[in-house]
């Protein structure tokens, strides 16, 4: 232990350093000077306020409430090696609060170079440690959140990548200029390429459009709205193959305000759908024709009126320009033109157009074999009557037999002035129309036959009525003759008797009585005849009134 005088000398020397002390008092950290015996020889006011330790107190007891020096004593180490040291420790404040301190020990030498004391500073880092713990906790949570988010993004990316690759529609990603950046496998197949690199190397999204006007409308709409939905246009694939497409497009995320980074395009090949839709529309149109013809067939039994209405309906809806209808004359084996529409009078006036024998030309063979005959290009036809059809301006013709109960009764010739290819479905439809016309013709013939049969029946009935009347009149005449003849005979006999009496001039009283009796009888019989005639006249009047 140093003598008291030595300690007082050190303290005196230290007190002389007023400027240094003023500096120590002004710092915000706790500052103490400790000698080799671990006694506090000086402390600034902040240290005294927070720890209540006075000079000459053992540092480990007054500061850290220990009975012996610290195991890793910074003061001891600085005295031993003459170097500064630091450490973080927990100390007890005057108010009993535990504080986390950053403690630094710095050796202070005298004029001879010997270490006079160690200056120990303590910085309260309790709040810093608390903040570090909270930050660490927050950082841990943030790392967890970021990790979870990254995991979610990876799963989302995998999910969207799966959707991208498994989509049946083409999905294109382009930059702002329309250059294809990415395309899924379905898109490669839809455009007919073998791999993605081939499509990306040869095409931009703009070059996919076949119709420039459709491209202008598409771009105008995407620039105005930022998206398009189910925009239909014709696109071109490999080898300039054209197909119908429905396009849905959205602008990609904006990198900066007003700058588009690219587009996402979803393209669906709707060629087959449009074909089906067109076929359905065509079938609906054909059903409308069949329904109209059916209603026409049921509305009238007049053949010419029926055929005129049917031809009007057909040309109104069909993709044809003219129609001719021929009916078969079985006895003569000829086909006679009975109705037509859309043809010139000069054409109709030609003899072999007006009438044709069965088996003569395409028209005659159609009814002979009871099967349709189709000429898609009349100029290449071998029919001997083709020149007349070509001069009329006709390009194609279908000859459809008109059937009634499976038997041919005529032919319908449907012609077009523009090139037209008659498909099997269209020929089947025309055959259905031919069957309807066949039914109409059959019904009209039945109606005509029924009218004729009714007329014949009426004539026969009238004849029978007249015969019956004559027979009745004969019987009536015989009866009347008999009824009138008897009184007339009596009157005649009495007249003859009176003539004889007059001739003999025998007018005795007895004869006069006989004459009176004869005249009375004659009067009675004559009145009887008058009554018969009267009744006959009355009967005749009643008969006329009844009829």
pLDDT tens digits, one per residue of 25-75 = 656 688 888 888 888 888 888 888 877 766 778 887 777 777 888 888 888
Q: Which of 240, 269, 298 is the last residue of a domain?
A: 269
Residues 391 and 289 in one domain: yes
Which stretch of DSSP H or E encloses residue 335? strand 334-341
pLDDT of residue 122: 85
Residues 308 and 430 in one domain: yes
Residues 248 and 293 in one domain: no
Residues 292 and 404 in one domain: yes
Would you say residue 239 lies in a domain?
Answer: yes
User: Residues 209, 233: contact at Cβ < 8 Å?
Assistant: yes
Residues 422 and 362 in one domain: yes
Residues 264 and 282 in one domain: no
pLDDT of residue 244: 92
Would you say residue 248 lies in a domain?
Answer: yes
Domain that holds residue 194: 167-269
Q: Residue 340: which of 289, 304, 298 has the closest Cα? A: 304
What average pLDDT is seen over the chain? 80
pLDDT of residue 84: 92
Residues 89 and 117 in one domain: yes
Residues 407 and 321 in one domain: yes
Report yes or no on whether pTM surpasses 0.85: no
Would you say residue 250 lies in a domain?
Answer: yes
pLDDT of residue 7: 47
Q: Which of 427, 451, 475 is the last residue of a domain?
A: 451
CATH number of the domain residue 388 falls in: 3.30.450.40
CATH number of the domain residue 116 falls in: 3.30.450.20
In DSSP terms, 322 is beta-bridged to 415
Would you say residue 19 lies in a domain?
Answer: yes
Residues 225 and 345 in one domain: no
Residues 237 and 115 in one domain: no
Residues 228 and 309 in one domain: no
How far apart, in Å, are the Cα atoms of 352 and each of 141, 265, 271, 303, 377? 99, 62, 46, 23, 21
pLDDT of residue 207: 85
- Write out pLDDT tens, residues 291-300: 777 776 666 6
Burial of 262 (0-12, 13-18, 19+ CB in 10 A): buried
Would you say residue 311 lies in a domain?
Answer: yes
pLDDT of residue 45: 81
pLDDT of residue 505: 67
User: What gap in Å lies between CA 488 and CA 330, rounded to an integer?
Assistant: 69
> Consecutive 10-residue runs of the chain (547 residues): their mean pLDDT?
50 51 64 87 82 76 78 87 88 78 88 86 84 77 70 68 78 85 86 82 80 88 87 88 90 64 88 86 76 69 76 75 88 87 90 89 87 86 85 90 86 87 84 81 78 84 80 74 75 76 67 76 80 75 51
Q: How many CB atoms lie within 10 A of CB 212?
A: 9
| The total number of structural domains that make up the chain | 4
Q: Which residues contact 173 (CB under 8 A, 6 or more apart)?
A: 180, 181, 182, 183, 252, 262, 263, 264, 265
- For residues 417-436, one letter each, b for 16 or more C-beta atoms within 10 angstroms of the residue's C-beta and e for the rest, the string is eeebebeeebbebbbbbbbb
Would you say residue 456 lies in a domain?
Answer: no
Residues 205 and 351 in one domain: no
């Amino acid at each position: 232990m140093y003598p008291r005088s030595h300690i007082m000398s050190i303290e005196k020397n230290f007190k002389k350093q007023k400027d240094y002390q003023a500096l120590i008092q002004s710092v915000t950290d706790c500052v103490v000077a400790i000698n080799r015996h671990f006694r506090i020889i000086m402390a600034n006011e902040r240290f005294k306020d927070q720890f209540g330790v006075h000079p000459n107190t053992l540092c480990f007891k007054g500061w850290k409430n220990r009975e012996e020096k610290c195991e890793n004593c910074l003061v001891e180490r600085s005295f031993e090696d003459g170097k500064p040291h630091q450490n973080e420790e927990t100390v007890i404040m005057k108010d009993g609060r535990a504080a986390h301190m950053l403690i630094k020990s710095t050796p202070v030498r005298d004029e001879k170079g010997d270490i006079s004391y160690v200056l120990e500073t303590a910085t309260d880092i309790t709040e810093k440690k608390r903040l570090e713990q909270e930050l660490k906790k927050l950082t841990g949570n943030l790392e967890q959140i970021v990790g979870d988010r990254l995991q979610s993004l990876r799963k989302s990316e995998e999910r969207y990548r799966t959707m991208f690759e498994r989509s049946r529609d083409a999905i294109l990603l382009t930059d702002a200029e329309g250059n294809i950046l990415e395309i899924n496998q379905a898109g490669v197949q839809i455009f007919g390429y073998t791999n993605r690199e081939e499509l990306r190397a040869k095409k931009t999204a703009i070059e996919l459009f076949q119709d420039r006007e459709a491209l202008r409308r598409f771009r105008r709409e995407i620039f105005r709205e930022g998206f398009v939905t189910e925009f239909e246009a014709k696109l071109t694939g490999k080898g300039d193959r054209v197909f119908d497409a429905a396009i849905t497009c959205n602008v990609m995320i904006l990198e900066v305000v007003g700058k588009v980074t690219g587009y996402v395009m979803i393209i669906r090949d709707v060629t087959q759908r449009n074909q089906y839709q067109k076929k359905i529309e065509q079938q609906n149109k054909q059903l409308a024709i069949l329904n109209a013809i059916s209603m026409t067939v049921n509305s009238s039994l007049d053949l010419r009126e029926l055929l005129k209405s049917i031809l009007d309906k057909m040309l109104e809806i069909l993709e044809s320009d003219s129609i001719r209808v021929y009916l078969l004359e079985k006895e003569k084996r000829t086909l006679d033109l009975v109705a037509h529409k859309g043809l010139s009078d000069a054409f109709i006036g030609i003899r072999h157009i007006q009438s044709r024998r069965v088996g003569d030309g395409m028209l005659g063979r159609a009814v002979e074999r009871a099967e349709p005959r189709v000429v898609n290009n009349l100029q290449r036809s071998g029919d001997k009557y083709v020149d007349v059809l070509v001069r009329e301006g006709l390009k194609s013709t279908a000859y459809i037999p008109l059937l009634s109960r499976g038997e041919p009764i005529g032919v319908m010739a449907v012609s077009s002035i523009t090139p037209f290819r008659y498909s099997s479905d269209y020929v089947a439809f025309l055959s259905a129309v031919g069957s309807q016309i066949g039914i109409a013709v059959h019904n009209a013939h039945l109606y005509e036959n029924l009218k004729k049969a009714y007329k014949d029946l009426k004539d026969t009935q009238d004849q029978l009525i007249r015969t019956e009347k004559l027979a009745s009149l004969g019987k009536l005449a015989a009866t009347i003759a008999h009824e009138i003849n008897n009184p007339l005979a009596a009157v005649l006999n009495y007249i003859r008797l009176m003539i004889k009496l007059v001739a003999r001039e025998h007018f005795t009283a007895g004869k006069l009585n006989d004459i009176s009796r004869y005249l009375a009888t004659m009067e009675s019989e004559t009145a009887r005849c008058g009554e018969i005639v009267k009744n006959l006249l009355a009967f005749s009047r009643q008969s006329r009134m009844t009829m």
